[in-house]
Amino acid sequence: MDPGLSDSSGKISHDHLAVNFKATFFKPAPVRKTFSFRTLSTINIQSFKSDIEASDLLNDQFLATCTDVDKLVDAYTSELSMLLEWRAKLRTKSIILRNDSP
């Protein structure tokens, strides 16, 4: 089939040539991303404050016996993490990232 690039004698009449080819493209495999989150907006602040006040963190006897700063930080981290987990559980969600098709 002549795409109109030559004259009737077969001589090429243009400086551009047509190129025909077939290419096979594969869709990339989907990428799955997993992330963790807490729904902090659902926490009742007054209840959370009450939980902290009732914990050992504000107990005078606990504070008097704990003289090492590192142990005190570990105790606060542990207790507050436990209270946070109780009020707003850590949830994990997995999504599939989809590439834009050209």
Q: Is 38 part of any domain?
A: no
Q: Is 59 part of any domain?
A: yes
As for how many domains the chain has, the answer is 1
Residue of higher predicted confidence among 69 and 13: 69
Phi, psi for 79 (deg, rounded to 5): -65, -45
Q: Is 87 part of any domain?
A: yes
- Over 12-63, what HEC string results? ECCCCCCCCCCCCCCCCCCEEEEEEECCHHHCCHHHHHHHHHHCHHHCHHHH
Contact 39, 91 (CB under 8 A): yes
Q: What pLDDT score was predicted for residue 10?
A: 67
Give the chain's mean pLDDT.
83
Domain that holds residue 86: 52-97
Q: Is 64 part of any domain?
A: yes
Q: Is 7 part of any domain?
A: no
Q: Is 2 part of any domain?
A: no
- Residue type, position 1, single letter: M
Q: What is the CA radius of gyration of the chain?
A: 34
Rounded to whole angstroms, the Cα distance separating 79 from 15 reads: 79
Q: What pLDDT score was predicted for residue 68?
A: 85
* Mean pLDDT along residues 4-26: 72
Q: Is 24 part of any domain?
A: no
Q: Is 10 part of any domain?
A: no
